[in-house]
Amino acid sequence: MNLPPADYLDAHDLAAIFKVTPVTILRRAKTKSHSLPPPAHLGPNFPLRWRQADVDFWLARNAP
């Protein structure tokens, strides 16, 4: 199985950044995608991943 490079985050990594559960991240990705950075599309057989650079950029633009 090909794994994405280390500069990609999974739902657990993103949950730690947002201080929520991974389930919340996956739920938001489906129902409130505007509340998260855009996911990377690595293919139909990969679970959701986010590029670290996209997350950093999104956080910088959406910081309170």
pTM for the predicted model, two decimal places: 0.81
Asked if residue 46 belongs to a domain, the reply is: yes
Asked if residue 1 belongs to a domain, the reply is: no
Average pLDDT for 29-53: 91
Asked if residue 2 belongs to a domain, the reply is: no
Q: Indicate if the pLDDT at residue 27 is higher than 90.
A: yes
Domain count within the chain: 1
20: tokens are 């929520």
pLDDT of residue 43: 84
Do residues 49 and 22 make contact, with C-beta atoms less than 8 angstroms apart? Answer: no
Q: Residue 60: pLDDT band by 50, 70, 90 thresholds? A: very high
Asked if residue 3 belongs to a domain, the reply is: no
CA distance 59 to 19: 13
CA distance 4 to 25: 19
The angle, 0 to 180 degrees and rounded to 10, between the axes of the packed helices 11-18 and 52-62 is 20
* Owning domain of residue 33: 8-62
Question: How much of the chain, in percent, has pLDDT values that exceed 70?
Answer: 89
